[in-house]
Amino acid sequence: MMSSFNPTAYKNLRESKRLPPDPNLIFRESDHKYYDKISKRIFPLSVTQISSPSTSNFINKDIEQGINRGNHVHACLERFLNTGHAGTQSPYEEWVSKLIDYRYWSKVLPIAVELEICDRRHWIAGKLDALVVHKETNKIILIDLKTRKAKKDEKTGKVTFSKESSTKLHKQFGGYLDLLYQNYKHLWVDECMVIYSHQYGVDTDTFSDLEEYRGLYQSARSIYFHQQNKIYGF
């Protein structure tokens, strides 16, 4: 499918480099919840909860370290895409420096960075990492950043790390696409890309069956609400 990047609907997109955020959607740091200013309601669900409902709340030392690393690297990438600079010296410099030096960033313009979006029909909210437009192809790409601690074979130099399951990624991308299309009617995303940042460099996977992923997410959402109805009777 050809990109439906609409220069009429978003004629200033290249100049502004941003989609307009939802002024009535607020993320509250105090309780880590999304809040709707108009209805004064909290969004009880996230895209992650729908796409990965069985995720454990158990956090050990390694998981906590991974969360801290991920938050820090995400913040540095956000700062870089917004200002062109990653910031001061980082405790995860190996991850940050290689991610920022990744040549892909010179080929794209950011449309949205850490964009908060929501679905007011089902009261689901989330935050996508980045949405970019390719300078040459005009394709719009939805990006999700994952940080990993990799291993490197001293003899062969081969780098290995754990990748996210395809099923989980497909539903996660489908969720962000679903929320994007609800809020930006003239926007069409051409590709999704997961960027794996690790201490030895950057690896990527690209996905293109976007309508299939959106359908997977919508099915997961229906299953989630059906199960909740069986358990709680609503």
Report the SS3 class of residue 41.
strand
b/e code 115-130 from CB counts within 10 Å (16+ = b)? bbbbbbebebbbbbbb
The CATH number linked to 211 is: 3.90.320
Q: Provide the domain count of the chain.
A: 1
Strand partners, 46: 125
Report if residue 17 sits inside a domain. yes
Read off the pLDDT band of 17 (50, 70, 90).
low
Report the SS3 class of residue 223.
helix
pLDDT value at position 57?
56
Helix, strand, coil in percent for the chain, rounding step 5: 35, 25, 35
Report if residue 21 sits inside a domain. yes
Report if residue 100 sits inside a domain. no
Report if residue 74 sits inside a domain. no
CB-based contact 118:22 (threshold 8 Å): yes
Helices and strands in the chain: count of H runs, count of E runs? 6, 11
Nearest alpha-carbon partner for 126 in 169, 172, 166, 80: 172
Q: Is the pLDDT of residue 7 over 50?
A: no
End-to-end C-alpha distance for the chain, whole angstroms: 40
Domain that holds residue 42: 13-57+107-232
How many angstroms separate the CA atoms of 199 and 150, rounded? 7
- pLDDT tens for each residue of 131-175: 999 999 999 999 999 999 999 999 999 999 999 999 999 999 999
Report if residue 5 sits inside a domain. no
What single-letter DSSP state applies at residue 106?
Answer: G
